[in-house]
A and B are shown apart, each in its own frame.
Chain A
């Protein structure tokens, strides 16, 4: 009885194992591999819709919060000589520039890129921006005073009251690099040093920063608009403040999502279809109405009432190519800033 039970269990296990390990016959057709740095809760529904609409199976690798946009970027660089991925959906353009510089990307001009402003796409067709986030302040409602500029981080009245995400990862790195291109290296360095002196807390991510402000541990933090918006939708006691909107202020930093074709992509045609889908006004509208509340770059796309269209904001004017180069240049400084 024991032996029979054991044999049956083993047979079931082996049959299931074979089914699990075997590749389906039609796997090589209608498959696209995408690496995604955009938050999974927002990106996964879009990818599932693409699957439903086109019948093309999407295989995704998502970034975790702690390594946001660098974990997957790393994989792409590591896999450069043997690419596994077809499309990379990044949540900002800087790493797209880094990948372009490292020769990981291929050129593709999508038909849906035509409606997107020129400053939000690579002129040589290596990457295209869509659905942007704004770098905003998330501020605890209990605070009577509200910051209005990124430079409030280093003012004495805000000492120990602010938190910022780890500048090694994601949009915070991009923002710091953008500031360096605007201010110059000397003032940029001074800003970083002042952050430390002003007891600004470093969190592991924008999401965590938003949670710390929502919980009241800190008054304000510079985060992405989707992080702030999701906390508002969750009913947390926070509000959004758009920084640096004054006449002489630099404006707020706008970060579009970017999509790009990987060089040597195993499923090139499917990859192009996915890129076209992601760059469509319909996708932008969906992302605008999702919790991430990302602002469309195509004109005339319907957005929720609580969002400000991009034409109504003072936007920081930056060259993303320069920002990407600066990001690599300031890495030793960032390491030093974090004591690494």
Chain B
């Protein structure tokens, strides 16, 4: 009874948070002047300009996904299955960009590749690099840098789940190359496809980089329609392609799982490729790639910040904003974790169709640009009756929940996939109530995932710009929004310092996670 009541309450709450904003937006787009009118949709789908924008978005996302997958797969193999030097350092280095706001990369590389950028000072190539940077090639490069970690993380995860007996048996008869090609890669094929689709969706929906680099794509159009023309309905209609892509993403994810369930990381020793005499130069090459893609842009930020004095000054300026951002992100991370856990629980353990629907919708919401979600939130919550929500930071947290719950539910799905329900079933047979089973078996079994989900939810919430920019109540701006509002005539040193502070905050959060994980590992003996 308790479980049923809890499940229905959860369904209603999550439904309101994720589904209602979209219902309101789409209702507005179908009704014009109180009558059903499909003219917006007709205009949208017959517009040549929209076709061009769609083509741009598709081209950008497709190119980024392809390049990231082709590069990410061997990188993941090298990082997980070889004896390269500084494996952990390289792993952290290559996965780090995922947790940094994309526009920070764009700003950093602008300082390097702009017409009067650093590269121009040495090679006088400013005109060429600038013309390449501001447009499609620049967008591809920045998105590739940001989303490459997605491929590495996803493929690494699938690599860890490969049954080592298969590889070890094959290794008895043939070399590691054939084992990789004929056993490992086919086994992790679903992970490769998943990584490709995920990067495609993320690149398609990302707004800040194409805006900065003046490349017209769909999310930018949505933002413009809302911002410039007060055209909520037009903005809604322009999200249709992204929604369709979101649904494709969901379908891909769901069908991949039914075909072959994810095993989760294996505890047995897996195939390790000895690089031999190639070890040094491969490690060197990877280190150089990491330095070019990640270390250089951040070094430029440090340089442009103009020294400790400016960083301290920026910190003082942003102190209350930073604290506020941390609190909002912490609340966001916590609620995202709780919601994600229960969605995964009711879907995986209880096989509830409602939870399946919520999971699918949360995945679609993840795929949709934050600006679109922001529009939906304003339309839904800006009423006298719900003013206590709209005029408070709750509205920002609702945006985080709508956008990022999917990440948490995926993390917990993996956990539920790895641990069979036998322990819970045994407890049930002994008469333990649902609450007791939940708190004494299920949650302790997955406690390491709570920390991971919290940290990931925290970081994504902290970096959010699209939703926050549209809905933040007065005096509740976050650091990301502050950076954007200061870009107009703000001093370069201050903007760079603020970007650096945000990056260091993310570094701190990730470090805390690793320290806590290690602390727990040492004290629990796991």
Residues of A within 8 A of B (CB): 1-2, 13, 16-17, 20-21, 33-35, 39-42, 59-68, 70-71, 73-75, 77-79, 81-82, 84-85, 168-169, 202-205, 207, 212, 214-217, 226-227, 230, 234, 291-292, 331, 335, 339-340
Contacts and interface: CB of A to CB of B under 8 A. Distances in A.
27 contacts: A16-B327, A17-B331, A20-B327, A21-B392, A35-B474, A39-B488, A41-B488, A41-B489, A64-B485, A64-B488, A67-B223, A67-B227, A67-B228, A73-B230, A82-B382, A84-B387, A84-B473, A85-B474, A168-B228, A203-B214, A204-B214, A207-B489, A217-B127, A292-B489, A335-B229, A340-B49, A340-B224
B359 interface: no
B487 interface: yes
A107 to B, nearest CB: 23
A41 B490 contact: yes
Contacts of B383: 81-82
For chain B, which range describes its interface: under 10, 10 to 19, 20 to 34, or 35 or more residues? 35 or more
B378 A62 contact: no
B464 interface: no
A283 B392 CA distance: 31
B221 A40 contact: no
B287 to A, nearest CB: 32
A21 B331 CA distance: 11
Nearest to B327: A20
Contacts of B484: 64-66
A333 to B, nearest CB: 13
B130 interface: yes
A68 B489 CA distance: 12
Given A78-B379, A84-B387, A217-B127, 20 more contacts: A13-B330, A17-B331, A20-B327, A40-B488, A42-B489, A59-B474, A60-B474, A66-B211, A71-B227, A75-B378, A82-B383, A84-B474, A168-B228, A169-B227, A204-B212, A216-B115, A216-B116, A291-B489, A339-B49, A339-B216
B226 interface: yes
Nearest to B475: A59
Nearest to B492: A234
Contact of B384 (A33, A73, A81, A291): A81
B277 interface: no
A109 B448 CA distance: 62
Contacts of B481: 64
Contacts of B387: 82, 84
B327 A65 contact: no
Chain A interface secondary structure, helix, strand, loop or mixed?
mixed
A335 B228 CA distance: 10
A75 B226 CA distance: 10
B486 interface: yes
A229 to B, nearest CB: 9
Contacts of B472: 61
A70 B227 contact: yes
Contacts of A77: 230
Contact of B475 (A17, A60, A68, A215): A60
A244 to B, nearest CB: 25
A33 B214 contact: no
B413 interface: no
Nearest to A35: B474
Contacts of A227: 489
B186 to A, nearest CB: 42
A78 B471 CA distance: 11
A202 B470 CA distance: 24
A215 B116 contact: yes
Given A64-B485, A82-B384, A203-B214, A74 B230 contact: yes
A204 B391 contact: no
Contacts of A67: 223, 227-228
B226 A74 contact: yes
A329 to B, nearest CB: 13
A33 B387 CA distance: 15
Contact of B115 (A33, A65, A215): A215
Contact of A33 (B114, B223, B474, B487): B474
A204 B211 contact: yes
Nearest to A82: B384
B18 to A, nearest CB: 21
Contacts of B226: 74
Contacts of A65: 484-485, 487-488
Nearest to A86: B474
Given A41-B490, A82-B382, A63 B224 contact: no
A66 B211 CA distance: 8
A63 B474 CA distance: 12
B391 A84 contact: yes
